[in-house]
Structure 1
Amino acid sequence: MTVLRGLREAVLLLVIALVVIAVAAVVWVAVAGGGFASRFGLASILVGVLLGVTGDLTLSRIGMLDARSTFGLPPERETGGGGRVLTGVGIFLFVGLPLVVVGVLLLA
Structure 2
Amino acid sequence: MSTVIRGLREALVLFLIAVAVIASAVGIWVGVSGGDFTHRVGVAFMVVGAVTGMTGDLTLSRIGMLDARSAFGLPPEREDGGGGRVLTGAGVFLFVAVPLIAVGALLIT
Same fold per TM (> 0.5)? yes
Amino acid at match of 2:37: F
How many angstroms apart in 2 are the aligned matches of 1:27 and 1:81? 35
Are 1:86 and 2:87 matched, yes or no?
Answer: yes
Q: CA deviation at 1:68?
A: 1.7
Q: RMSD between aligned alpha carbons?
A: 1.0
Runs of 4+ residues deviating >2 angstroms: 70-73
What TM-score does the superposition give when structure 2 sets the normalisation length? 0.94
Q: Give the number of equivalent residue pairs.
A: 108
Unaligned runs of 5+ in 1: none
SS at match of 1:82: coil
Q: CA deviation at 1:80?
A: 4.1
Are 1:102 and 2:84 matched, yes or no?
Answer: no
Deviations 1:15-55 (A, max 9, x none): 01001110011111101111111011011111101110110
> Map of 1:6-85 to 2, 5 A cutoff?
6-85=7-86
Deviations 1:52-100 (A, max 9, x none): 0110121111111012222332211012420000011100110011001
Amino acid at match of 2:76: P
Unaligned runs of 5+ in 2: none
2:45–2:103 CA contact under 8 A, matched in 1: yes
Q: Percent identity?
A: 66
